[in-house]
Structure 1
Amino acid sequence: MSNFETIRSREEIPQEDTWALEDLYVSDEAWEQALSALMARKDEVAAYAGKLGESGETLCAFLHLVEDMGSQMELLANYATRKADQDTRNATYQAMVGKLMGALTSVSAAFSFDTPEIMAIPEEALESFYKACPDLERYRRYLNNERRRKAHTLTAAEERLLASAGEMANAPDTVYSSFINADMHYPDAVDGEGKAHALSQSTFVPLEESGDRVLRKSAYENLYNTLHGMRNTAAGLLDAQNKQLKFFAEARKYGSAREAALDGTNVPVSVYDNLIEAVHQNMDKMHRYVRLRKKLLGVDELHFYDVYTPLLKDEPARIPFAQAKQTVYDALYPLGDGYRAILKEGFENRWIDVYENQGKRGGAYSAGTAVHPFVLLNYSGSLDSQFTLAHEMGHALHSYLSNKHQNPIDSDYVIFVAEVASTCNEALLMEYLLKKTTDKKERVFLINHFLDQFKGTIYRQTMFAEFEKFMGAAVDAGQTLTADMLSAEYARLCKLYYGDDMVVDDQIAMEWARIPHFYYNYYVFQYATGYSAAIALSRRILREGESAVKDYLGFLSGGCSKSPIDLLKGAGVDMTSPAPVNDALKLFGELLDEMESLMAE
């Protein structure tokens, strides 16, 4: 799309710009048949109850079943969820997702005996199983990872009860998604000439990038004032989300929901806290960025509707999607021909749902499957949307390579490393564009974008992580998350992170209500750690070439075959140290130096 005045219906989007969900199932009827076939296999699962400790052959056969049914569930979930995200107003696919969640909860409950039984196998017996059944070696990593959480595993009956509560536990996220994407409607934003622009979750940030301050302010106030009118509903959903996390954490004998979330991916809580501390120690650079932005925009007061707009009045022309694909392809040449051949395959074979349509889920994501990845975009033609393309295809190729090189049970990389490949692509794209340009204005525009990436990914996501830590601590202390409490804390953090040169108003204090990631269970800190790792990896790739690329592709192909910390160490980055965060923010400071120098000329 080249403008935001109209949002097309799904039927108006050309097929070549939509994802090929028929690669998963040829029709809804085929999906229904596959779901019925999966449900029919629950009896196969039940036949193993009480028998997993009998022999290596029995355990191996059961894990083959786990792997096979897990692959089926992944395909079923992807089809239903992708269909629902195409148009969140479509009741047929919302009902399909509901049916799926009920079925998956039922299947999960059927498997609930396995973890307690696996935990109960004595170490000596398990080693004898490996010797007697060599095929069981395929699952050694999986079994070791399961058994390391023995202290947090309950009895079979208790595990079944928790599994049965899974659908209910997903309710806050499910309701929030419908609330924010389908039910919320905002007044049109109006520009300086009185022209109306459609305002939605998807168009908000592109409108905030506009050089028209009247339009930016209108979009900002209309979105947040509307959310303010629903603040108690939004707060109630976040309170329910955090309380269900607390319930499950306490049931499994964790000290907090945050500890439970990080233990699921085998990441020390200290990594989370070290990130916040490292960013606090580098807050002067963020405040310096804010002062520079205020100065270059020439405003008496800097508001949050001024933080996305480019610092130059003459914005680059909109980038057609075909051009964006070619630029991303060219920029990723350091990763080698093999990597780019897969990228091209995705571009040419409808892995991507490109443009916004009415009711479509906002934002962007990549969902990996054994068939191939599926990427959702709301491509607008801005520079930011070109970077989003690079970002999501980084996810996509990470999934593709892990699925290709790992057994299904080891192919799904954990969320701690999920943002590394995506942001490494962005960093390589930025380096390519900076190297290519000789125009001062274009260079300033790009550096501004790079600075905004640091601001948005390290500082902003760490602020979100600190907000999540606050919510978890408040709920742990027996408090209810009210709209007033959430807004007060959010405003405090905005003041801390942005400093005295930014106006912290009542509208931005409501931003927590539009952030879907607060329903992702302590996910956001990994954007910041992932970005820091990606900066280190991209610089190593550009500096060392083939040897670094080999290590990096090994990381992308690793799935969850090792702990995330060890996978990154294999690629040359140690995230237990604050060094990657400090080094990334050092680069942020150097970019500030160059921006100041360019603008002084």
Structure 2
Amino acid sequence: MTTYKTRQEVPEQEKWNLDDLYSDLNRWEQDYQQIEVMAEKLKTFDGQIHDGHSLYQYLKQSEDLSYLFNKLYAYAMLKVDEDTRETSSQSLLDKAKQLSVKVSSSTSFFMPYLLSLKEETLQSYINEEKGLDYFAEDLMESFRYKLHVLSKEQEEVLSQLGEALSVPSHTFGMINNADIKFGEVTDDNGEPVELTRGMYAKLIEDENREKRKEAYFAYYKPYLQLKNSIAATLSGAIKNNVTMAKIRNYPSVLEKGLFGDRVPKEVYENLIATTKKNIAPLHRYTKIRKDKLNLDELHQYDMSVPLISGVKPVISYEEAYDTMLKALSPLGEDYIQNLKEFKEARYIDVRETPGKRSGAYNLGVYGVHPFILLNHQDDLDSLFTLVHECGHGVHSMLSSKYQPQITARYSIFVAEVASTVNEVLLINYLLKHEQDPNVRKHLLNHFIDQYKGTFFTQVMFAEFEKKTHEMAEKSMPLNVEVFNQTYETLFREYNGDEIVFDEQVKYGWSRIPHFYRPFYVYKYATGYASAIHLATRIFEGDEETIRTYLEFLKSGSSDYPLELLKKTGVDLTSPEPIENALKRFEDLIEEFSEL
């Protein structure tokens, strides 16, 4: 496997090209100054919007500012993620964050103003100014928030607090990405080496149990050492969420989290209830795992090792890319052309290097193109990650191409559908073309583990968020003990009684960045269930599903997420898609145990 000691060593073709955003820092600075001027100009509209024309001017200038600001912020963020230790990039991002506060402060008067209008007044403005047709739907959507927007002065105060309220999340990010050191593990020659996240992901799947165990304890050690600090940051984040929900008059913090997507809380509760009702196959899988590994005691560090030994395909980045193009060919020639462009035009940052942000993501920048961060490791997981992020990437690209700026950004709720459809198409393709019974078993095993991670684990996380936020709403204390107890109870409920609990298990909550974005993770599970439904039909060549799905990818946020999905044949307000996804999981367990 290729490991690079510095970013300079990585081939140019495997680094994203940020020149597409800014070819030099002077241009970034020029845009920075221009945005400051634009923000000041927007302030002058305060109290001066009295007709359709002035309303249109404000909205048009606000959108122009937003376009520039997103580009500027994206550049700073991507620069930091190349190397989180680089102070010059950090100060760029700090500047962008300060600018963000200025911008939101200069526009904070607008929502209270808009919601002070009578609906018929707004309608008359729209009728008299042709340009407002473009903004009409958005303006009317804003009326949904009428109950939750405060007075002009209060909104101004809240916008000033923006940076302070993001401190828990920022602090955890710093602890998790910059400060945590995982200590040392021994390499194949018995020499001590520094453990990295990428290495941990590999070692926790190692067939040598001692290696897994050593990596597991080393990985959790800093989290246990910092448990009180991390508990304080998480508790702070949760209390902030609860306070904001109260200030903004939401019936509950959960309903605030779901309001933007217009998702009824029943969808969230139904997801948890339906999953727990059908949890038996997952418990059965835990038992199969224990038997197959021939263990007296199953520990958490035994939960990721592949059950089929001797199958560890090495998949180079080139090979992974080719496989992706073949696997996604049912989506049509245009889809594949977009993917080829990603590679040729350097939209992707491929390799793990010291200081680089861990994990993987896609960032679509309207009017430019998507940027994809990977930490590619030449293995099956990395192939799946590539396919997943490229799903997001094409979704961003098509939404930007077919939607105006105002509706180009799709909601997170539908985002995970696009990425997971790709993963399911990939696994179906691999299973169809693989003759070797051992590799087939390995793929099934991989699919099951991925199902577990993307569906069951996320539902468990969603329930953890729900429980901890409900405690905060009742003013109950949130600390290490409370988080541990809540997490451990849920872990047992979801994973069954076969696992022997090491001390580390209950600290699982301490390493999850998603908990700092409230009520977000459940969307992985609803997205996964929707994707299973769609991908199965696409793989079978169902022309109508392929057509409606590609339309869906071009839709951005032109409708509410649940409505967009209904057009493809998935209705998440009913338990059916969740039940179907759980049934598919049960079939996989059945097939795997027969093999």
TM-score, shorter chain, exceeding 0.5 = yes
Find the counterpart in structure 1 of residue 163 from structure 2.
Answer: 167
In structure 2, distance between residues paired with 1:33 and 1:402 = 28
CA deviation profile, 1:38-62 (whole Å, cap 9, x unmatched): 011122201221233x222222222
Match of 2:312 in 1: 316
2:503 matches 1:530: no
Moved more, 544-553 or 399-408: 544-553
Q: Which moved more, 1:482-491 or 1:541-550?
A: 541-550
Q: Is 1:509–2:509 an aligned residue pair? A: no
Where does residue 240 of structure 2 map in the other structure? Answer: 244
1:94-243 equivalent positions in 2, closer than 5 A: 94-190=90-186, 194-243=190-239
Q: Show the 5 A alignment for 1:65-464.
A: 65-190=61-186, 194-370=190-366, 371-464=368-461
Corresponding residue of 1:475: 472
Q: What amino acid sits opposite 2:177 in the alignment?
A: N
- Kindly indicate whether the alpha-carbon contact (under 8 Å) linking 2:81 and 2:357 is maintained by their aligned counterparts in 1: yes
What is the distance in 2 between the residues matched to 1:196 and 1:585? 43
Deviation, structure 1 residue 542: 2.4
Matching residue of 1:29: 26
For residues 423 and 8 of structure 1, the distance between their equivalents in structure 2, rounded to whole angstroms, comes to 32
Q: Any unmatched runs of 5+ in structure 2?
A: none
Q: Is the 8 A contact 2:428 2:539 kept in 1?
A: no
Q: Which amino acid aligns with 1:498?
A: N
- 1:270 Cα shift? 1.4
Task: State which of 513, 518, 521 in structure 1 corresponds to 2:515.
Answer: 518
Specify the SS of the correspondent of 1:148.
helix
Partner Cα distance (2:148, 2:259) in 1: 10
SS at match of 1:419: helix
Residue 126 of structure 1 and its aligned partner are, at CA, apart by 2.2
- TM-superposed deviation, 1:277: 0.4
Query: 2:66 is matched by which residue type in structure 1?
Result: G
Between the aligned partners of 1:17 and 1:544, the Cα distance in structure 2 is 33
Preserved CA contact (<8 Å) 2:455 2:524: yes
Contact between 1:201 and 1:362, CA under 8 Å: does it hold in 2? Answer: yes
Q: Is the 8 A contact 1:192 1:214 kept in 2?
A: no
Shift of residue 217, structure 1, vs aligned partner:
0.9
Which letter does structure 2 place at the counterpart of 1:451?
A: I
Q: Indicate conservation of the 8 Å contact 2:298/2:500, yes or no.
A: yes
Shift of 1:196: 4.1
* Secondary structure, aligned partner of 1:367: strand
Aligned to 1:42: 39
Tell me the number of residue pairs that the alignment of Structure 1 and Structure 2 aligns. 594
- For 1:124 and 1:226, locate their aligned partners in 2 and report how far apart those are by CA, in whole Å: 59
Offset from partner CA, 1:183-202 (integer Å, 9 cap, x none): 11012223576354542233
CA contact (8 A) 1:424 1:535 kept: yes
In structure 2, distance between residues paired with 1:259 and 1:198: 44
Aligned residue identity for 1:263: F
Separation in 1 of the partners of 2:189 and 2:281? 37
What are the Cα deviations for residues 346-370 of structure 1, in whole angstroms up to 9, with x where unaligned? 0111111111111111111100112
How far apart, in 2, do the equivalents of 1:96 and 1:522 lie?
Answer: 30
Q: Is the 8 A contact 2:330 2:541 kept in 1?
A: no
Instruction: Give the TM-score of the pair, scaled to structure 1.
Output: 0.96
Counterpart Cα distance in 1 of 2:76 and 2:295: 48
Q: Is the 8 A contact 2:182 2:221 kept in 1?
A: no
Are the equivalent residues in 1 in contact too, given 2:372–2:393 (CA < 8 A)? Answer: yes
Provide the secondary structure at the position in 1 that maps to 2:410.
coil
Tell me which amino acid in the other structure corresponds to 1:326: D
Secondary structure of the corresponding residue to residue 372 of structure 2: strand
Q: In structure 2, how many angstroms separate the alpha carbons of the residues matched to 1:190 and 1:215?
A: 8
SS at match of 2:362: strand
CA displacement at 1:410 relative to structure 2 = 1.0
CA contact (8 A) 1:182 1:359 kept: yes
Distance 1:579 1:316 in 2: 36
Partner AA of 1:38 in structure 2: I
Partner Cα separation in structure 1 for residue 371 and residue 535 of structure 2: 25
Where does structure 1 lack aligned partners over 5 or more consecutive residues? Answer: none
Structure 2 distance, partners of 1:197, 1:583, is 45
Aligned-CA RMSD value: 1.4
Deviations 1:484-528 (A, max 9, x none): 211121111111110011122211211211111111121101000
